[in-house]
Each structure stands twice: as structure tokens, then as C-alpha cells.
Amino acid sequence: MRRSDLGEFEELVLLAVAAMAPKAYSVLIAEELEKETGYPVSTGAVHAALQRLEQKGYLSSYLGEATQERGGRRKRLFTITTFGGKTLNEVRMLRNNLWDRIEPDTLAKIGLHFS
């Protein structure tokens, strides 16, 4: 497996884009991450992460149609690329492999219980 250059927040943003496709845009992603994490997430931080992810080739974007709710402005919508999907899969496999190596008694000692 190649080493991923994804930070934790970038990984969450990339996962959110994959889960929300084809309607993923910065404000909606920030709201979704706030809901899922229980922590405030700024739209600016999401926007910066989206730009980095697009520059790295994990995402692509396009301008959606203008809407009245945005005063006639268009949203930049994001979709995950094949490369982004492959990278997420590699990260998931790595995490799952490490989780699977933890002995059940170790999990119990540290207060983790999985079925």
C-alpha cells in the first residue's frame, strides 16, 4: 500500500463528498460533518480542504446551476475521482487490518466493545 497524504480532516471531507454525491458542496459538507462529529466545523476549513483534495487529484468539481436561494449564484459541486476512491479504500483496508489485530481482551481492557 502506498502512503496516503491525507490528513484526518481531509479524510473526513473526502468521505463526506463520497457519501453526499452528487450534491456535495462546502456548506452542506460542513453541516454534515458537524452533525456526525458533534463539533463545530467552519465552512472555510471545508472549502480549504476541498481545494487541497482537488489539487491532489482526489476530487473534481464543477459549477452547478444558479438557484434563487443563492441569489442567482452557482454552487461548486464536488465528486470523488477514481483515484480518491482508491485512496479511501486503501486507508479503510489499513485501518481495518490494524483493528482486526487487536485482541478482544485488549479491547476490553481499554473499554472498547465491538460485536
In a domain, 39, yes or no: yes
In a domain, 72, yes or no: yes
62-106 pLDDT per residue, tens: 998 877 676 677 889 999 999 999 999 999 999 899 988 988 888
SS (H, E, C) 84-105: HHHHHHHHHHHHHHHHHCCCHH
Three cell numbers written together for 44: 472555510
In a domain, 115, yes or no: no
Cβ atoms within 10 Å of 69's Cβ, excluding its own: 8
Kindly report the CATH number assigned to the domain that includes residue 23.
1.10.10.10
Q: Give dist(CA 9, CA 25) in Å, integer.
A: 16
Angle at the Cα of 60 from the Cα atoms of 84 and 86, rounded to 5 degrees: 10
In a domain, 71, yes or no: yes
In a domain, 114, yes or no: no
In a domain, 113, yes or no: no
In a domain, 2, yes or no: no
Point out the least confidently predicted range of 5-14, 30-39, 105-114: 105-114
23-63 pLDDT per residue, tens: 999 999 999 999 999 999 999 999 999 999 999 999 999 99
Domain that includes residue 71, residue range? 8-108
In a domain, 85, yes or no: yes
Total domains in the fold of the chain? 1
